[in-house]
Amino acid sequence: MKTKKHNSKNLSISSRIAIATSSAIVFTIIVTVIASSIFSYIAPSFYNFSSVTTNNYSLLNQIQWNQTMITITDQFASNEPDDVKQRSLCRITEHFKDFGTQIYITENGEEFYSNTDEKTITTLAKSISKSDLETKLYSYCDNGLVIVDKYNVNGKEYKIIIANKDYTVTPNAGTNRENITSLLFSKVGFIIILEGLLFIFSIVLMSIITSNIITKPIKELTKGANEIAKGNLDYKIDYDSTNEIGVTANAMNDMTQKLKESIDERNQIDQSRKEMIAGLAHDLRTPLTSVKGYVEGIRDGIANTPEKQEQYIKTIYSSTLDMEKLLNELLDISRLELGKIQLNVEPTNILSFIDEFVEEKMVKIQKYDLDYTYNKPTDIETIMVMLDTDRFSRVLSNIASNSIKYAKPNEKLLIDLTIQNYEKSVIITITDNGIGIDGDNISHIFDTFYRADHARTKTREGSGIGLAVCKEIVSLHGGSIWASSTLNKGTTIHISLEKIKEVNNE
């Protein structure tokens, strides 16, 4: 049952229109046929077709005469004895006299039934119709009415003569308008109007049903669009179908979902930004207060020995370095984000560049008690890429210092630096065995001000800027940067750069 409902919901709009239109036609025809059948069933008694009720010529009167003749001849064909037939004929024609209508029936030339005598009726009929009454005749004229008919049934010949001198034919006078008015107000007019009304009613009814079938899902869509416009992004359009509207509803639901996600994300970034600005302000104040305190100490003569003064100056210098680092980071990211930094690229052998980096930086950071490994292709001497060496070593330094920052407290830090050579690109990976990043955070770590551990508030422990800077610099090189990580196992940062040339070892 449920499947059936589901299938009908999946009907395409064009099928719905086709079904609705054909049902409108079929329904209208059925209503009209039923109405006509009911009418034809009740019409004979309504119009009294079976007996003649008027002495005036009209369509109805003709139908009545035809029906009366059929009823009379039906008697001839019946197997009843003659006296029964005659009694029936008497019943059928008993009201003839009320209208002055005479009837004379013969069977094989012998009188069979009449309400007059032969001479009277033949004289009257001949005077009205000017006919010898030997051939069939249905004459309705202003002189009167004459019907002569003959039937051969069961080997017998019946002849019927009917005559009435009081019969009148109303002249076809009057305007068309009067005719139409009289037709409208006649019984026939009433039936025609009734049929017409029924026809219109069934069409209107079917149009309402049709439009409901088509407009209901559209109303659902409109409601959904209005809810989205009002900002209700939790609203789901409840229309599950594979037809055109179902596809649109799904697309709108997806769009709302994506919109909601991106708004949530933006809110989260805004929140991080606010937190970071608060953190930066706080972290700038700390070295600033320290500088102020030590400068006052020197001014007020508290640092009264040359050793003390030197120590004060060292502390002041280190505090200003902290402030400078922080401000430089901020300046860098805002310049990068505003597109105000131009790279100073030149063709560089990435292998020797990384060799130098390892020698200079990795050896230096060994004071942090770490082990490092370095792997590079041995069969190639030169892999040329376009590089801004200063900025690119900043990228590698940021990544390496993150490995140090996010090392496990109780485990020796291992950093691996590997260069992989591909047909068109070179990929540099830096892997550590640190605390790792969980799945929810990994896609955001390159966003500005994003920190996976929101609890850290000291900017010295991380400002959320380092990887954003890396991403901007790598993008400016036309490369890409991405991360893979397992929580509590470690993190790998991958950087891919396009090659311009390579030279193989002989």
Provide the mask over 375-404, with x wherever binding to ligand ADP is found by CB under 6 A and - wherever it is not: -----------------------x---xx-
- Phi first, then psi: what are they for 492, rounded to 5°? -125, 130
What are the CB-based long-range contacts (under 8 Å, 24+) for 273-280? 273/448, 273/449, 275/449, 275/454, 275/457, 276/449, 276/459, 276/463, 276/464, 279/457, 279/458, 279/459, 279/463, 280/326, 280/330, 280/459, 280/463
What's at 139, amino acid-wise?
S
Distance CA(125)–CA(147), nearest Å, equals: 8
**Rounded to the nearest whole angstrom, what is the least distance from the CB of residue 485 to ligand ADP in the complex?**
7
User: Binding of ligand ADP at residue 279 (CB under 6 A)?
Assistant: no
- Phi first, then psi: what are they for 132, rounded to 5°? -85, 0
**Rounded to the nearest whole angstrom, what is the least distance from the CB of residue 401 to ligand ADP in the complex?**
8
Is the CB of 336 or the CB of 467 nearer to ligand ADP? 467
Is the CB of 160 or the CB of 333 nearer to ligand ADP? 333
**Rounded to the nearest whole angstrom, what is the least distance from the CB of residue 248 to ligand ADP in the complex?**
40
**Rounded to the nearest whole angstrom, what is the least distance from the CB of residue 449 to ligand ADP in the complex?**
8
Six-digit token string for 268 = 């989260």
CA dihedral 396, 398, 399, 405 (to 10 degrees): 150
**Rounded to the nearest whole angstrom, what is the least distance from the CB of residue 505 to ligand ADP in the complex?**
33
**399 neighbors 489 (Cβ within 8 angstroms):** no
What's at 500, amino acid-wise?
I
Provide the mask over 342-381, with x wherever binding to ligand ADP is found by CB under 6 A and - wherever it is not: ----------------------------------------
Report the 10 Å Cβ neighbour count for 170.
10
Is the CB of 223 or the CB of 361 nearer to ligand ADP? 361
**Rounded to the nearest whole angstrom, what is the least distance from the CB of residue 407 to ligand ADP in the complex?**
8
The footprint of ligand ADP on this chain (CB under 6 A) covers a number of residues equal to: 23
CA distances from 186 to 36, 180, 353 (A): 17, 10, 109
Is the CB of 362 or the CB of 468 nearer to ligand ADP? 468
Residues 480-499 contacting ligand ADP, CB under 6 A:
491
CA distances from 420 to 150, 155, 174, 478, 485 (A): 117, 118, 109, 18, 19
Six-digit token string for 14 = 């064009």
Residue recorded with tokens 């994003």: 450
In 123-242, the DSSP E strands lie at 137-141, 144-153, 156-164
**Rounded to the nearest whole angstrom, what is the least distance from the CB of residue 479 to ligand ADP in the complex?**
18
Residues 407-436 contacting ligand ADP, CB under 6 A:
432, 434-436
Is the CB of 144 or the CB of 436 nearer to ligand ADP? 436
**Rounded to the nearest whole angstrom, what is the least distance from the CB of residue 332 to ligand ADP in the complex?**
12
**Rounded to the nearest whole angstrom, what is the least distance from the CB of residue 399 to ligand ADP in the complex?**
7
Provide the mask over 431-470, with x wherever binding to ligand ADP is found by CB under 6 A and - wherever it is not: -x-xxxx-------x----xxxx--------xxxxxxx--
Is the CB of 245 or the CB of 407 nearer to ligand ADP? 407
Is the CB of 140 or the CB of 450 nearer to ligand ADP? 450
Is the CB of 350 or the CB of 435 nearer to ligand ADP? 435
**Rounded to the nearest whole angstrom, what is the least distance from the CB of residue 346 to ligand ADP in the complex?**
27
What are the CB-based long-range contacts (under 8 Å, 24+) for 405-410? 405/461, 405/462, 406/432, 406/434, 406/435, 406/491, 407/368, 407/370, 407/432, 407/433, 407/434, 407/435, 408/433, 408/434, 408/435, 408/488
Is the CB of 468 or the CB of 497 nearer to ligand ADP? 468
CA distances from 453 to 277, 437, 503 (A): 16, 9, 44
Is the CB of 159 or the CB of 451 nearer to ligand ADP? 451
Report the 10 Å Cβ neighbour count for 465.
23
Interaction site with ligand ADP (CB under 6 A): 398, 402-403, 405-406, 432, 434-437, 445, 450-453, 462-468, 491
